[in-house]
Structure 1
Amino acid sequence: MKTAYVRVSRSILMATAAFAAPVALAQTAPQAATEATTGAGATLDGTEIIVTAQKRSENLQNVPISIQAFGTKKLDELNIASFDDYAKALPSVSFQSFGPGQTQLSFRGITSGGDGLHGGSQPTAALYLDEVPVTTIAGAVDLHVYDIQRVEALSGPQGTLFGSSSLAGTLRIITNKPETNGFAGRIDVSGNKVGKGTGGGSAEGFVNIPLSERAALRVMAFYQHDGGYIDSVPGTRTFTLGDNNPDTNVTVNNAKYVKDNVNKTDTAGGRAALKVDLDDNWTVQPSVLYQHQTTRGSFLFDPRYGDLKVTDFGPGYNRDAWALATMTINGKIGSWDLTYAGGYFDRRVENLADYSEYSVAYDQFQGGFYTYFQAADGTFLDPTQQVHNHDDYTKQSHELRIASPTGDRFKLVAGLFYQRQTDRIVADYYINGISGIPNSPAVPKAGDDLFATRAYRVDRDYAAFADGSFDITPQLTLAGGIRVFKVNNTFVGFSGFKSGTTAANCVPVVADDRVCNNFERQAKQSGETHRVNLTWKIDPDRLVYATYSTGYRPGGNNRRPNVNPYVADTLNNYELGFKTSWFDRKLRLNGAVFYEKWNKLQYGLSPVGSFGVTNIYNAGDARVYGAEMDFNLRLGGLSLSGSGALIDGKLTTDFCSFDANGNPDCTLGVIAAAKGTPLPIQPKFKGNMTARYEFAMGKAKAFIQGSLNHQSGTRSYLTTREADLLGRTKGFETFDFSLGAKVSGFDVSAFIENAFDKRGILSINTVCTPSICGAGRRFYPIKPQVFGIKLGHDL
């Protein structure tokens, strides 16, 4: 598979380069080169960093938006290697997850609950790798963090510069670029042990090789194994068959799936980037990145069977392989910077999970439909159900923009953007052997599927944007921006039971995987999103700002024929913030307060009678009040840093209950979620604090460090009935400690994460709607106590 990905990436990269080269020939000095040489990650008293959050290289303290940024040094200090690691350090970020590679990211509590679902809403938050968006319809990829220049977390709507998937915020991961000024390299290895689980470790390295005075190559590779800590324990399950005769009941056990520490992860990949200065005035930077991740077992546990224990009746795994080819070209037209950024992203996800809880729970409503399978010899099949999902995602994006000189009184960034992303869905809900029984309910052309989905989704986005600022006085700046766009989204295929293949609405097709299409829908929309900002720079170390900004997410269509389409939801953000440095810049203190109005919020839910199909609804309006703050204080060898967010989100209108067709209907007098209901997933308070002391120990530079992380409990569902059945998560605190030293180019450190083995729960989930499957709820915990050592060497 890896060879195929590399071959595809090479072809795309060459095609992109051929397309972009004529544009590049008209360009001169590169903006990206400026970013590379300003020392992005370079600090002032260890507290300040250069960012490109506004498509320009700027000091973090001069950017009038709520942004948290971690440079290379801070990422290493916090031992950040994966999504869960940096999400823990970002108070305004929350997420739902079923394990590595299965995460849906959100900012400030703006999450629909339907992100990443087949045919569901686009994500509310975008993930960018350098200049290219890599958020798929399924949500964020779990990028391994190594040889990274910085991570930027931009809270609030960022649609003016970053598009429709930035309704609530944008997370940007900026890689280290090739450099022509000398050879560099590093190797890092680590080993760790989950306190009550198994061991793991990693091997990582990079080299930066100057090829000439005008060209350089940077190559990074890694492998990481994460040990397991969830046990699959013995259990039995009795299926009461549809004839209600105890003699025909089927009892099964999970003996062949009983194993300790089942949830293990292996991740491997690498990146190759080339930088070519074709003359003194312009630069071309192609790159290819590949990552393959395999997880086994469940990362959620079932509290009915004990702490960190499950009883699964089938195998489970998730395979997530993706490749990204990009081309960035920077130059000048006169004194204006010109940038082209293009990328092609190919992601393939395969997931297998135990679905027997669904069969048992739903059967009481379907009279044996899910369990009563009699073979020709009179025996009954084991009705244990599995779900096998395949998603093939692609995404290509192209952006061409121009920027005025940074020193001008009037500054402008303007450009054009095109994006096309697809999701080819193959979902098999199967029971072994049902295709061979008399009067089989198996879906034609789908093997042993009781329910099957074969669908193809294409989302297209065309946009033009402009974002500018004018210095009214040297201290007062007025800025604003607008993005106009057009979307064209299509969704076609089959989803349903065998009976659906003979329904009047199922149009016959010639295909290997289905006999007909029972939905074919299109959503075309256009609109704009905008922002206005006023910044007062009180002095070189202090500024305050006021921002009004909006966000937009396209609507779409549901699979079920009687369920109405969902329309676009929008976000209005009103924000006051400050960026300050004190005591000769030894203390940095930044903060913001905000009010956000979420209009026609999109929410995913599987009502009873929907046969497990999640529909997307416009659940009404909501508001979010919040405050964010972060600080960094350096006193000699001691540094203190921390950040926190207080976020309160609630519905401002009633979300009505559902009629017989599955649509909200306020005339029924029943409320699914009343006005004032808290929004789910986002903790009301989330914060962290780190103390680090660096000191000389002979020839070594040593350190000791301790971190505290805290978050409050969360509501698991928006709708009242489901939320009550699942319950709330509880607040928790964790402590991390590390110590180490650097001497003669070697770094050695030891660490313990979640030192007191606190069992924090991040989310509660079920395999189907909680009103049916609530008894089988499962908890997604933070990682238990982990001990480890790390060794690194500069080449």
Structure 2
Amino acid sequence: MLKSKISIAVIAALAASSVHAQTPENSSAKAKIETIEVTATKRSESIQDVPVSVTALDGAALENLGVDDFSDYVEFLPNVTFQGTGPGQNEIYIRGAATTQTNISVSSVQALQPSVALYLDEQPISMQGRNLDVYATDMERIEVLPGPQGTLFGASSQSGTVRLITKKPDHFGFSAGVDTDFSVTKGGENSSSVEAFFNFVLTDDLAVRVAAYNSKQGGWIDNILNEPGQGGYIGSAVVIDRISGGVLSDPQNTPVVSPKNDSLVEDDFNDAVYSGARFGLSYIINEDWKLLVQHTEQTLETEGVFAYDPNLDGETSVNRFTPEDNDDEFGLTTWTLEGRLDKLDIVYTGGYLDRNIDSTIDYTGYTNGGLFSAYYVCNHYEAATPADERCLDPTKFYKEQTETSRMTHELRINTDVENTWRITAGIFYDEQDVDTIGLFNIANTELGFFTDLARTTVGTEGINSDGGPFPSEISFVNDVSHGIDQIAVFGQLEYDITETLTASLGARWYQIDDIYKGSTTTVDVSRRLRAFGTLDPNELAAVGLDPDAVSAAINSGQLQVDLLDDDGVLTVDDTIFKFSLDWKASDDVLFFATYSEGFRPPVTNRVGGGLATNQQGAFENFRIPVYSLTDTLDNYELGMKGDFLDGILRVNATAYYSEISDLQTSRFDPTNISFLVFTDNVGDAEITGLDADITWLATDNLVVDAAFSILDTELTSLNPELEGIALPVGSELPYSASFSGNLRARYFYELPEGLTGYINGSISYTGDRLAGMNMDAYVVEDATQLIYGTGSGLPIQQEAASFEGVTYPDANGNAFRGGRYVQESYTITNLAFGVTNDEWKAEFYIDNVFDENAVLYIDTQQFTPKVVSNRPRTLGVRLSYDFF
């Protein structure tokens, strides 16, 4: 009896390791590890037999680990990291292939395409700047495929793919379940969630599954009262010059008005609420064909910010001056028709994604820098005498309304898996549209500086201070439509050279059209791109460009425009390849070698061709590129998957070397180059690393899991246009630690009345990481000193004594130093204690046992550092019940 119950316990335990235990009917047999099925190659295969590095967390593992949202997905995946400013505002990076992504305030308009593709079942749901934050309810598993997956999964699968696989309707009968969670966070609000699913068999051929959830995640960051003389801004009389590092003081000593936030003071103001439902219908047409249709609807509502100001009291305080919120709603309908014609398996799948985002962001910090902002809030330009000069409240905001749609279709075939040779081949079509209206309040509209500008035409409508479509306080507008159309043909051939040796070859041809239209308050983007496409001198002059200077820049190779047609549409096409060789050394051990290619498509810039304001030193003749080029990643890896010691020890490991060409990055330098974010190619990089995960059935009632990642990244060459501006050669890529890993254990013990008790424990470690690709930390610290009278206390890694060619002194007359903030290492420990039987489970848990304040991200885009951190120590109770 004891052996039998412990075997059951081990089955549950191994779910947390993405594997299951298998024991024969004779309960005295020793449990062994059995793998789960994954679809990493667009076929269902054992995770141990597929010659691809794959990590998978199945549904039971997600439940045992308390995984719910985006940040939870990656906590136990050491080769995966995410960076961003809160729920629904993050980017995924895998194996160190990371760069600076743009801030949320313009992410929908001018962000890089992701380097990691995110899928919900068969549907790609990646989006530039803001990957979809899907709540992980009723999930079959989450698959992580490190390394380029472009031949099968297309654009943005440059350094990996993350796939969220939902549970589908089953035809075996009625089932239902409910999970509840209530928790208390140290120094924060309570959190609670309810999740439920129902599975109905309506007829022998028709089944329906419904999952619904509501999760309120209480805040822990306080918006405190702004004290006189501080408040996250320098004031309207002082500006930081980010290029020189100097401070430009107002010669008239105009009185500064400190912004007020009395009405917004609130404890624990960073709330997040996920709510949604998924409906699935499975219809067995006949013995060869079946149809699956699913619809997912989700709303994510957040308030406040998820970053604290390190210059204020404690590690949970900020000063914000505008009510902030981010409402992110999507609907996703998908369909999959599977069948068999003779010896071919045929799959047609498609999906339609409709997403709407409404954001309000406090932009007051922009006063701390920039070429114009501090001047805008003062009235130097109209004061009759110095005595009349004054500065108004510098409070600013940004509002963004974004509508996104994405339609995909894929038709593919698979030959019989029993063949000596096997083919997967298909055609893929993708149509994306992003329409954004961004409204900036950045200027002193009360004093009328923008009176004339406020009546200019933006797109097809105007900004009218006397009652037009935009409020009178709006001083700058982005009105942009960004379309991406893609068609691709792909295939993969596998051939068994011998019974134990298999070779495979994959390829993908693609063509992508990047269609960028619209305007800003100051730039007609559509006409500007058409001008570059035609190189018509009259059109170039009409958009404020010198035709002769543009021609010289093109002839010298400084500007590239050959990818644009006469309508300003950017088109790229190419073919990428993958080759692998795998050897089944025994029934339990597999070795594989792989070469693979991945890519990320180019991005069109709104203000391409523009000159830097300061034309001295390294910035002399610097021009914003019209578009960034495609960046590519070539990957070489050797891997091993093996079960040892009669199946109680599993070791999977992969060593790899990657080369990135024309690495894309975002740049934000409103002081000197552009008020608007733009993208560029910084240069080439190399990455060397090792991933490994281990599962050990230590005893009949103790399961131990471990995983780690070792990384070495380096910028190996620099775009000549960025010498003296960007990071020097030899610099480390951002956001990924040289070492990270985790250790998990699950111990079971028998209780009376047929119950089983368990204890879960986990430790997750992330090493030091560098923040971003811009060496702006010392300049940001200058601003911080002026605002708060003290530094941020965050460590900085100096990487350049000065920018080569830039000779401007800083405020102390010294050369301007270049450096990046260090996101210091952290360790998170979790514990859980539970009791379960076949139907119900009750669990008490402690997340972040030692109340570690982890630095997840440092945001410097408003000229003082803000630190995104994890949730403080949280105690909670989970209850679940399943009906069969």
Q: TM-score with structure 2 length normalisation? A: 0.79
Give the superposed CA RMSD: 2.5
Structure 1 residues 256-288: Cα deviation after superposition (integer angstroms, max 9, x where no partner): 111111111111001000000011211000110
Larger RCO of the pair (alpha carbons < 8 Å, separation 6+): 2
Q: Give the Cα separation in 2 of the matches to 1:388 and 1:789.
A: 38
Q: Give the Cα separation in 2 of the matches to 1:681 and 1:183.
A: 46
1:262 corresponding residue in structure 2: 269
Q: Does 1:574 align with 2:636?
A: yes
Contact 1:197-1:227 within 8 A present in 2 as well = yes
| Stretches of structure 2 lacking an aligned partner (at least 5 in a row) | 1-17, 23-31, 239-249, 456-462, 464-469, 532-541, 546-566, 610-623, 778-796, 799-818
1:480 corresponding residue in structure 2: 505
Q: Give the Cα separation in 2 of the matches to 1:128 and 1:502.
A: 32
Contact 2:428-2:488 within 8 A present in 1 as well = yes
Q: Give the Cα separation in 2 of the matches to 1:665 and 1:309.
A: 37
Shift of residue 435, structure 1, vs aligned partner: 6.8
Change (3 A) 1:488 1:518: farther
Q: Does 1:454 align with 2:467?
A: no
Q: Give the Cα separation in 2 of the matches to 1:458 and 1:225.
A: 34
Shift of residue 595, structure 1, vs aligned partner: 0.1
Q: Give the Cα separation in 2 of the matches to 1:239 and 1:85.
A: 39
Shift of residue 614, structure 1, vs aligned partner: 1.5
2:584 corresponding residue in structure 1: 537
Shift of residue 251, structure 1, vs aligned partner: 2.5
1:599 corresponding residue in structure 2: 661
Q: Does 1:425 align with 2:480?
A: no
Q: Matched residue of 1:76: which SS? A: helix
Q: Matched residue of 2:822: which SS? A: coil
Change (3 A) 1:504 1:113: closer
In structure 2, which of residues 125, 141, 144 is the aligned counterpart of residue 134 of structure 1? 125
1:552 corresponding residue in structure 2: 599
Greater shift in the superposed pair: 371-380 or 295-304:
371-380
Shift of residue 388, structure 1, vs aligned partner: 1.1
Contact 1:105-1:125 within 8 A present in 2 as well = yes
Shift of residue 320, structure 1, vs aligned partner: 0.7
Shift of residue 449, structure 1, vs aligned partner: 2.3
Q: Give the Cα separation in 1 of the matches to 2:453 and 2:394.
A: 13
2:538 corresponding residue in structure 1: none
2:755 corresponding residue in structure 1: 700
Structure 1 residues 205-237: Cα deviation after superposition (integer angstroms, max 9, x where no partner): 000000111110000000000011111111145
1:56 corresponding residue in structure 2: 43
**Higher Rg of the two aligned structures:** 2
Q: Give the Cα separation in 2 of the matches to 1:212 and 1:502.
A: 56
| Aligned residue type for 1:413 | T
Contact 1:294-1:317 within 8 A present in 2 as well = yes
Contact 2:211-2:277 within 8 A present in 1 as well = yes
Shift of residue 119, structure 1, vs aligned partner: 2.7
In structure 2, which of residues 638, 651, 669 is the aligned counterpart of residue 589 of structure 1? 651
Q: Matched residue of 1:62: which SS? A: coil
1:646 corresponding residue in structure 2: 710
| Aligned residue type for 2:572 | Q
Within a 5 Å distance, the mapping from 1:158-169 to structure 2 comes to 158-169=149-160
| Stretches of structure 1 lacking an aligned partner (at least 5 in a row) | 1-39, 509-515, 657-663
| Aligned residue type for 1:573 | N
2:422 corresponding residue in structure 1: 411
Structure 1 residues 559-612: Cα deviation after superposition (integer angstroms, max 9, x where no partner): 113122211111000000000001221111100000000001111111332344
In structure 2, which of residues 293, 306, 311 is the aligned counterpart of residue 304 of structure 1? 311
Contact 2:842-2:877 within 8 A present in 1 as well = yes
Greater shift in the superposed pair: 339-348 or 44-53:
44-53
Q: Give the Cα separation in 1 of the matches to 2:437 and 2:210.
A: 35
Contact 1:105-1:139 within 8 A present in 2 as well = no
Within a 5 Å distance, the mapping from 1:267-286 to structure 2 comes to 267-286=274-293
Change (3 A) 1:240 1:551: closer
Q: Give the Cα separation in 1 of the matches to 2:450 and 2:168.
A: 62
In structure 1, which of residues 681, 685, 698 is the aligned counterpart of residue 739 of structure 2? 685
Change (3 A) 1:366 1:438: closer
Contact 1:411-1:470 within 8 A present in 2 as well = yes
Q: Give the Cα separation in 1 of the matches to 2:237 and 2:703.
A: 65
Shift of residue 671, structure 1, vs aligned partner: 4.8
Contact 1:284-1:328 within 8 A present in 2 as well = yes
Q: Does 1:786 align with 2:880?
A: no
1:318 corresponding residue in structure 2: 326
Change (3 A) 1:107 1:376: same
Q: Give the Cα separation in 1 of the matches to 2:380 and 2:165.
A: 54
Q: Give the Cα separation in 2 of the matches to 1:649 and 1:284.
A: 45
Q: Give the Cα separation in 2 of the matches to 1:247 and 1:575.
A: 62
| Identity between Structure 1 and Structure 2 (%) | 28
Shift of residue 194, structure 1, vs aligned partner: 0.8
In structure 2, which of residues 42, 52, 59 is the aligned counterpart of residue 72 of structure 1? 59
Contact 1:154-1:171 within 8 A present in 2 as well = yes
Q: Matched residue of 1:449: which SS? A: coil
Q: Give the Cα separation in 1 of the matches to 2:449 and 2:383.
A: 6
Structure 1 residues 746-780: Cα deviation after superposition (integer angstroms, max 9, x where no partner): 11001011100001101111234xxxx1xx11111
| Aligned residue type for 1:100 | P
Q: Does 1:741 align with 2:843?
A: no
Q: Give the Cα separation in 2 of the matches to 1:111 and 1:750.
A: 37
Within a 5 Å distance, the mapping from 1:231-246 to structure 2 comes to 231-235=222-226, 236=228, 237=231, 239-241=235-237, 244-246=251-253
In structure 2, which of residues 368, 378, 386 is the aligned counterpart of residue 360 of structure 1? 368
Q: Give the Cα separation in 2 of the matches to 1:305 and 1:440.
A: 37
Shift of residue 390, structure 1, vs aligned partner: 1.7
In structure 2, which of residues 123, 135, 138 is the aligned counterpart of residue 147 of structure 1? 138
Contact 1:189-1:792 within 8 A present in 2 as well = yes
Q: Does 1:463 align with 2:551?
A: no
Q: Does 1:764 align with 2:858?
A: yes
Shift of residue 114, structure 1, vs aligned partner: 2.8
Shift of residue 630, structure 1, vs aligned partner: 0.2
Q: Give the Cα separation in 1 of the matches to 2:237 and 2:445.
A: 15
| Aligned residue type for 1:392 | E
Contact 2:519-2:526 within 8 A present in 1 as well = no
1:715 corresponding residue in structure 2: 770
Shift of residue 139, structure 1, vs aligned partner: 3.8
Contact 2:516-2:526 within 8 A present in 1 as well = no
Q: Give the Cα separation in 1 of the matches to 2:740 and 2:771.
A: 16
Q: Matched residue of 1:368: which SS? A: helix
Q: Give the Cα separation in 1 of the matches to 2:651 and 2:853.
A: 32
In structure 2, which of residues 825, 837, 844 is the aligned counterpart of residue 731 of structure 1? 825
Q: Give the Cα separation in 1 of the matches to 2:291 and 2:305.
A: 44
Contact 1:376-1:437 within 8 A present in 2 as well = no
Contact 1:136-1:421 within 8 A present in 2 as well = no
Within a 5 Å distance, the mapping from 1:641-680 to structure 2 comes to 641-656=705-720, 664=721, 666=723, 670-680=724-734
In structure 2, which of residues 395, 400, 408 is the aligned counterpart of residue 397 of structure 1? 408
Contact 1:494-1:517 within 8 A present in 2 as well = no
2:182 corresponding residue in structure 1: 191
Contact 1:506-1:518 within 8 A present in 2 as well = no
Structure 1 residues 136-167: Cα deviation after superposition (integer angstroms, max 9, x where no partner): 23342111111100000000000011001100
Within a 5 Å distance, the mapping from 1:170-181 to structure 2 comes to 170-181=161-172
Structure 1 residues 364-398: Cα deviation after superposition (integer angstroms, max 9, x where no partner): x6671354489999785423111112221111110
Shift of residue 440, structure 1, vs aligned partner: 2.5
Q: Give the Cα separation in 2 of the matches to 1:545 and 1:438.
A: 66
Q: Give the Cα separation in 2 of the matches to 1:717 and 1:147.
A: 35
Contact 2:87-2:302 within 8 A present in 1 as well = yes
Shift of residue 134, structure 1, vs aligned partner: 0.9
Q: Matched residue of 1:362: which SS? A: coil
Contact 2:443-2:475 within 8 A present in 1 as well = no
